Amino acid sequence: MNPIEPLKVDLPLSTTAAPKTVASTCAAQSSVIKQAPGYATTPAVQAAVGDMDTAVTALQATVGKLDNLDAERSALITTRTAQVSTLRLKHDNVATALNTASNNDPQAVQAWVGKTKSRAKPTPVTTSTNPPDGAQLAIVKSSHGSVKASCTPEAGALSYLFQQGGDPAHPETWPAPFVARGHTFKVHNQPIGQPIYMRIAIVRRGSVQSQWTPVLQIVVR
């Protein structure tokens, strides 16, 4: 005769749930248990639930810190990108100041840093307004929730414009684009499963801005 399996309380907790879900599930179950008629007179249950509440509080605190770190990291990456652009401009200003002070005197030019810059053939000024070639979005596998936008680099490009928005049907309503010196741009900490919409343009020599590429789309994974 097979033994009768004892009845058990249904207290589910998925083994694949995210940490935040684990904490919220346990907190909700604790609240329900504390309302049960037998809770006030069952010390063993009170002790077990109390231990679980302590663990919930600890996990929630850690999850909150990680969320803050993710937000801080995203903000720092944005700040870093802006600071790199600023420093490059300041570097260009130093070169301009040195060249102005040298007044095209070869000896004065060489006296500053010991060498002169070879004269390169100027890139011809273009009037083309064609959008950049090779525009695409790609998942950055080495960085969770990151997407890279890129296009084919052009020798005559002064800067590259990367614009992101939420309504693919109306890109004219999107926020101002990010201005980059390089032909690639990354966005980080995007929610998994969220579609990303972007488009790219180039500012060419002669301050000619190209047309925008068609709206590019990719789903974060």
For the stretch 43-76, pLDDT in tens is 999 999 999 999 999 999 999 999 999 889 988 9
What would you report as the CA-atom Rg of the chain, rounded to the nearest whole angstrom?
A: 29
CB crowding 66-81: b at 16 or more within 10 Å, else e: eeeeeeeeeeeeeeee
Whether residues 82 and 173 share a domain: the answer is no
In this prediction, residues 2-15 reach a mean pLDDT of 85
In three-state secondary structure terms, 156 is coil
Tell me which of 114, 142, 172 is where a domain ends.
114
Would you say 215 and 171 are in contact if contact means Cβ atoms under 8 Å apart? yes
Tokens 């684990």 — which residue?
22
Q: How far apart are CA 101 and CA 95, in angstroms?
A: 10
For the stretch 198-221, pLDDT in tens is 999 999 887 789 999 999 999 998
Q: How many domains does the chain have?
A: 2
Tokens of 19: 């940490």
How does the average pLDDT of the chain come out, rounded? 90
Tell how strand 184-187 and strand 136-139 pair up.
unpaired
Whether residues 140 and 202 share a domain: the answer is yes
Whether residues 95 and 185 share a domain: the answer is no
Q: Smallest Cα–Cα separation from 129: which of 53, 212, 191?
A: 212
* Per-residue pLDDT at 1 exceeds 60: no
Q: How far apart are CA 56 and CA 67, in angstroms?
A: 16
Q: What is the pTM of this model?
A: 0.46
- Residue 214 gets which letter from DSSP? P
Tell me which of 114, 134, 166 is where a domain ends.
114
Q: How far apart are CA 175 and CA 157, in angstroms?
A: 22
Whether residues 133 and 220 share a domain: the answer is yes
